Amino acid sequence: MEGQDIYLGVRKMSLIDDYVDSMMSGLGSMDLTTLEPIDCFDICPLYAKEGVDRVLRIIKKSKFHNKKKLAKKLFTPSAIRIELLLLLIKAKIAKKSQEDLMKIANFYNSLLIAWCLEDPYAKNGKNIIHTKQEISKFLTHLKIANPDIARRLGKLTAACYHLSYSLYSDINPQICYENFGPYDVSDVFGKGHIMTIKQFHELKPRRLLGDKVNDIPCKKIRVYCVYKDVNFTLDALSHAIYDGDTINGLKYYALDIDGALVKNLNKVDFLSEKIAGESVKLWDELTSLDFENSKIRYLFQRCYNYVYLCDEIGIDWKPSNDMLKAVKNRNLVNNFWSKFKDQQKKLDFLRVLIDPRIEILPKLNKQKQQK
């Protein structure tokens, strides 16, 4: 039933454990000190309270809205998972109550449960939102692949990955890209065949960047791939892992650009070059911003996660005045993780940060002067 808590009783503990374990699996292999151009952990303490208060207002306003519809307004399942992760960290820093922590956790969990058909936190390496009927429809569009096609599609997806970072920075690319699957299609193509879907959307965010994105040649790209003898898994953060020969193992493909199937791959070569060029240009623009404008851009990028959800519930998506004031003329925390020389202690601390059942936060470093 809409509005009901999902986290209840024994199931509550199981779902929270799944979330924490899955996130720790994805984060454990990452270097959390290399996020650019603004490190989310270094800026979070500046606006933690204001940022969480804004989202709590969004959650309250969303109470009676359809959860699956709201989930789709947040771009991708990975975007929802990461948003939950960062919100709980901010909520701990802001010393929010246990009630608020669980309110946040329940809301985002309810969105994932409503949208994902299985494995909502990708704990088992899956990201499944398409029904069997939808997959069957996708299969009707497939064409025979070969190694040359695999390489050309790989070049296109690499360009799109790079563009996602230029548009949304290191902490927000999941707004733009997502990997779905694996979908078992062995009943159609034979033993050992799977389908994956690479999706790139919101490639031209005019409401975020205005005229800066005018030269990006498309808004959305989907690549449908059927592989043989290739294993595919991904983590909660949409980091895809392929085990096998993805060049020779690609047997069928389809490419959809802005809702139209592409028949001539010469267009793909043009798109790859054009998107790659725009990626470099936009990254240069992003990294050339002065410190104050970098902080402002970061807040707008973060809030852009909610642009369509806010449209749905009737509130402004942009950062609140309180958020902008909270970061103005203030230095970042100088390397949030610097106190941890031992990797295991850092991971233990991170587990505390992202577990909504734990209200008390260990003492954080004091702010240091930005160098």
Q: Whats the size of the chain, residue-wise?
A: 371
Q: What is the pLDDT of residue 348?
A: 87
Buried b (16+ CB within 10 A) or exposed e, 66-91: ebbebbbbbbbbbbbbbbbbbbbbbb
Model pTM above 0.85: yes
Average pLDDT, the chain: 90
Average pLDDT over residues 114-137: 96
Please give the residue that has the higher pLDDT: either 162 or 348: 162
Q: How far apart are CA 21 and CA 109, in angstroms?
A: 14
- Give the Cα-Cα-Cα angle 323, 326, 331 (nearest 5 degrees): 130
Q: What is the pLDDT of residue 361?
A: 58
- Return the sign of the alpha-carbon dihedral for residues 17, 20, 25, 28: negative
Q: How far apart are CA 337 and CA 329, in angstroms?
A: 23
Q: What's the pLDDT band for 371 if we cut at 50, 70, 90? A: very low
Q: How far apart are CA 317 and CA 311, in angstroms?
A: 7
Two structure tokens written together for 40: 């989310």
**Does the pLDDT at position 239 exceed 70?**
yes
Q: What is the pLDDT of residue 3?
A: 36
What three-state secondary structure class fits 134?
helix
96-100, 250-254, 332-336 — which is least confidently predicted? 332-336
Given phi > 0 = left and psi -120 to 50 = alpha, else beta, which region is 89?
alpha
Range list of H helices, 4-130: 9-27, 40-61, 67-73, 77-93, 98-115
Measured CA to CA in angstroms, residue 147 lies from 104, 208, 241, 247 at distances of 46, 38, 19, 5
Q: What's the pLDDT band for 9 if we cut at 50, 70, 90? A: very low
Please give the residue that has the higher pLDDT: either 79 or 368: 79
Average pLDDT over residues 292-296: 97
Measured CA to CA in angstroms, residue 23 lies from 5, 93, 124, 161, 303 at distances of 21, 19, 12, 21, 21
**Does the pLDDT at position 187 exceed 90?**
yes
Q: What is the pLDDT of residues 13-59, one digit of tens each?
A: 678 888 999 999 888 777 777 778 998 889 999 999 999 999 999 99
Query: Please, which residues have CB within 8 angstroms of residue 356's CB and are 6 or more apart in sequence?
Result: 16, 88, 101, 102, 104, 105
